[in-house]
Copies of this chain bind each other. A is one copy, B any other.
Amino acid sequence: MSGSPSGRRHTRDDVSEVALRLLDEYGLPDLTMRHIAAALEVRASALYWHFPNKQALLAAVSARILRPMEDVRVEEMSVSETVRRLGARLRECLLAYRDAAELVSSSLALGLVDSPVRPQLMTVTRRDGVPDSLSRVAAEAVMHFVVGYTFHEQQRLTADSFGLLAADASSLNPENATARPSDGGDFEEALKMIADGLQVSVRQHTETSTG
């Protein structure tokens, strides 16, 4: 089936690409070194030539998931719009692959991947004269909120797909139909709150420096 004879060698990029495919297909609990190796037609121990340990491999997968963040063109945006667009794009990146939010959450916490929000937000805030300290804080708030929110959301999605609450939850309490739309409206409302909060901080900062 595959184009190359069985004796092929692999690169770090091959490994993380195949790992991402497996993540999406079988989920994080089944993303084991042995399974990744098997998909590459190799033994698990071979992976340790490319990566020092599993966490490093998973960090490479996380970086792959976050790659589309770089395509967001923020040059013409206001600060508030940038916050909302980067947050929305981050959520899209995480929803694009099964269990991606959980994986990225841990890579970020371990400090093995860079902030997917900070650099682009900073170009805009610097352009507008917003102090770096404020934009760094806002970038953290956006990142942690989006990753946590989407982690929870993604968990509910796969729980629903296993039919774990389809029947009784909606019959016992009809409110649930409206109580858990989770169509992204709440998400965008929260992003707007953080963006508005940043604006307030900026105003307060310029007031104290001027007056």
Task: Please report A residues at the B interface, Cβ cutoff 8 Å.
Answer: 101-102, 105-106, 108-111, 133-134, 136-138, 140-141, 143-149, 151-152, 155-156, 159, 186, 189-190, 192-201
Contact = CB atoms under 8 A, between A and B. Distances in A.
Top 4 closest pairs, chain A to chain B, by CB = A144-B148, A193-B197, A197-B197, A196-B200
Given A105-B105, A140-B190, A148-B147, A156 B197 contact: no
A133 B152 CA distance: 18
A190 B155 contact: no
A152 B194 contact: no
Given A148-B144, A156-B111, A137 B189 contact: yes
A35 to B, nearest CB: 21
Contacts of A194: 141, 193-194, 197
Contacts of A105: 105, 148, 151
A144 B200 CA distance: 21
B198 A193 contact: yes
Given A195-B197, A196-B200, A200-B200, A152 B108 contact: yes
Contact of A196 (B101, B143, B201): B201
5 contacts: A102-B106, A136-B186, A137-B190, A141-B194, A145-B148
Nearest to A193: B197
Given A192-B201, A197-B194, A201-B196, A111 B145 contact: no
Given A136-B186, A144-B147, A197-B197, 4 more contacts: A101-B109, A189-B201, A193-B194, A195-B197
Nearest to A144: B148
Contacts of A138: 190, 193
Contacts of A151: 105, 109
A118 to B, nearest CB: 12
A134 B145 CA distance: 16
A159 B192 CA distance: 34
